[in-house]
Structures are given as C-alpha cells and as structure tokens.
Amino acid sequence: MRLEIGNFYVKDIKFGDKLSFDDGVLTINKEKALDFIREDERITEADLYIAKPGDKIRMCPVKEAIEPRVRLDGRGLFPGYTSELAKAGDGVLHALKNCSVLVVGKHWGGFQDGLIDMSGEGQKYTYFGYLNNIVLVADTNEDFEKHEQQKKNDALRRAGHKLAEFIGQCVKELAPEDTEVYDLEAMIKRSPEIEKLPSVVYVMQPQSQMENLGYNDLAYGWDMNRMLPTVMHPNEVLDGAIVSGSFMPVSSKWSTYDFQNTPNIKALYREHGKTINFLGVIMSNLNVALDQKERAALYVAQIAKTLGADGAVVAEEGYGNPDADFVGCLVALEDAGVKTIGVTNECTGRNGTSQPLVTLDEKCDAIVSCGNVSELIELPPMETVLGELQSLARDGLSGGWAGDEILGPSVREDGSVIMENNSMFCGDQVVGWSPKTMKEF
C-alpha cells in the first residue's frame, strides 16, 4: 500500500465569509459550519470557538480530537463510520497540520472526558495545548446519558468527525507544502538487504473492554470488542480505519487524532530498511474476562511468530484491568521467542509508591513508562472556560471529585482546580507524543 499525505500547516485560524486556506490562515464560515453540524437533529445546542497556543483558555469536558483532512478521490475519512465502507491506507489525502477539531460538552461530562489548557502550567500536559484548535462546544437530546458515568456521546463525537471532513474540503484543490509518503511492501519477498535486518511488529491494544456496543474503539466502523487480534497495514491506521471510542480514563485514551498521526508507527517507518524490517501492525484488543485476555495474547504471539518477527513493540490504551492484557501479551510474545518492549502509563498512586501495573511478570523487563495517572496537578484559574468546568467535579471525570476530606473539591470557587493526571485529555500519549522524561533521584 502507498499512502500520500499532503500537508498544509495552519499558522492561524479565524472566522470569516467563506471556508478557505490561504498562506497558513484557515478561515471558517462559522454559521455554515454550525448549520452543517445541526443537520443531526440530536444536536440541541452548538457553538464554535477558536483556541490557540497562548490563549488563556481552559476546556472541559473534552471528548474527542480529530485532524481535519480530505481524500482527493472523494471517499470519506472514516470508512464504515462516517462514510461507506471502503479500503483505507492507499491513495492521496490532504491534511491540515498543527490543527485539530476538539469536541467539548456544553454541560455534561463523564469518566472518559478531560481537560485541556492552552497556556500556563497546564498547557504542557497535553499535545493539544500546542495546536491551533477549532472547538465545537455542544449538547444533545441524549438525556438518558446525562447522569451516566459512561456515555457513548455518539452525536457529539460524530459531529466532530464530520466537522473535520467539512473543514478539510478547503484544501482539496490546493498544492500541499510538503508530502509524507508511507509505502510498505508486502511482508514476504522483500529484498535480501531488508530481510537480513531484525523483523519488528507493532502491537496496538486499543480500548475494547465494554461488552455493550457503542463505547469502544472502532475498526472500519466495527466495534473492536467483537474482534480477535489481526494483522493490519500501518497505513490503514494512519488513514482513518481506526476511530477512538468513548470509554477509558481520559489521560490513557487515544483520540482519533492520535490514530491518524501515530508517532510510534511513523518512527518504525523511519527505521525500516535502515535498522529494522518493519513488518506492520498486529491490531489486538482489550478484554474483560481472563480467558478472553489469554486467548488474545496467544493470537498475538502466534501471528508475530508466523510472520517471522524477531521483536515487537506493544502499546496499551488504558491501565488497571487492561494491564492484564498488556502483561499477558508481553509474556506470550517472550515465550514465543519474540523480544518485546512495552509502552504504557502506570498507576502508582498519588505518592508514587504503589505497584505501577495491576499485574507484573519478570519477563516484562523492558517497559517505557509514559507517566503516573494518579499524579496530583494543581492549576490556577483561567480567564475563559469552554464547556463547563464543574463537570470535572460533578460528573465523575476519572481524575476529579466533588469533595475530598483533605484536598476539598476539584473545582474551587476561584476557578482553580486540583485533580489527578487522569483527567488530562489524552495526556499520557502512549502512542508516542509524550514529552515526559524519567529521572533518577
């Protein structure tokens, strides 16, 4: 498969008369964009905002992030989800870089929603604090979900994905500033020079724990709870075949933007033919019951061994219960003779002294930590809040609380907050964005 991504670098965003991109400036006709969003009758309230690095803006509850793109052949960005089912990973698309569409709840949040700051101390905790963002703040008539800790947020999430497609149309006929090419040949019959290099697979474990449909990550629109581990071409992941779900403590989540740009995949691509023979992606899942976890681990190990992998990189979306899937997969791969590195966050408690993963094994001797979900974070008030900050405390966001006998409420009267890293939107960035560094004391 050969995927070409033509890049357009967004330096500024503004509202204006028509949707356009010129000399780094993205202009959006706000009313036309909102009319498009309101075509879904479930959307009861909606507004658009612009949030740029350095703005004194706090957003909460943030639900999703998507990179605006357009496919030149007319196919949809997310096949099987926002458009008819079609093959992803091949062809040409254009992307607006340094830019994302963020979806924020106007009122109601949940366990899987988070916070983004565009400046100050909080900015450093998320990748999206450094992007130029089009922010959709909306509410829906899905009243049955409002007081639920877990929400599907289907209308809001689909609105964000469709808005990203709508905005991407403005660069369809333009010449990109540069082009990324991802061209990976079939796994077998490669040149002798490549085949003599160590063969490596990238194992992704997207969130798929919820047995009720509608909460999990999607593969071509298919709920990943219904999947067994399988082989995917890395281009499919970069080209919209995987869509983020609404389940998972938010610092551990992989947004759709993360799938579209997975840095770990791009890093393996860069080393292909130089230091490694990058075979591709084994797309696994995360399960609830122990036998399901064991079955998936066996599948992953068998696939890796059958493909002739010498090494594997395993990345886990989540923590807690999914740690059993993660560790089980690493052990199964090592038992099959595949040298394995794991990438995950950890839950070591607010004082950092608890066991980092729910389960451990001595064979897991090479793990990259992307941070502690329970780390306490205090942030001063921000001038502007998009959404409803009180949702951090009221609605059970994974790192917030209504009251603590020592710390008090997460949201203070002056607008400052104290919370766990858990509530930073996609903050741990296991997919490869993480700026965090391990230090010895």
Alpha-carbon distance values, 69 to 184, 238, 366 (Å): 22, 12, 36
Span 157-196, pLDDT tens digits: 999 999 999 999 999 999 999 999 999 999 998 999 999 9
Distance CA 192, CA 197 (A): 9
Q: How confident is the model at residue 436 (pLDDT cuts 50, 70, 90)?
A: confident
Report the pLDDT value the prediction gives residue 208, as an integer from 0 to 100. 95
262 Cβ partners below 8 Å, 6+ apart? Answer: 234, 237, 238, 431, 432
Q: How confident is the model at residue 345 (pLDDT cuts 50, 70, 90)?
A: very high
Q: How confident is the model at residue 441 (pLDDT cuts 50, 70, 90)?
A: low
Positive or negative torsion for Cα 21, 25, 31, 34:
positive
Distance CA 222, CA 304 (A): 23
Q: Taking residues 112-133, what's their average pLDDT?
A: 97
For residue 242, pLDDT over 90 is answered with yes
Q: Return the structure tokens found at 377.
A: 């974070």
Mean pLDDT (the chain) is: 95
What's the burial of 385, exposed, middle or buried (CB within 10 Å: 0-12/13-18/19+)?
middle
Percent of the chain exceeding pLDDT 90 equals 93
Report the pLDDT value the prediction gives residue 18, as an integer from 0 to 100. 97
Q: Taking residues 133-149, what's their average pLDDT?
A: 93
For residue 254, pLDDT over 90 is answered with yes
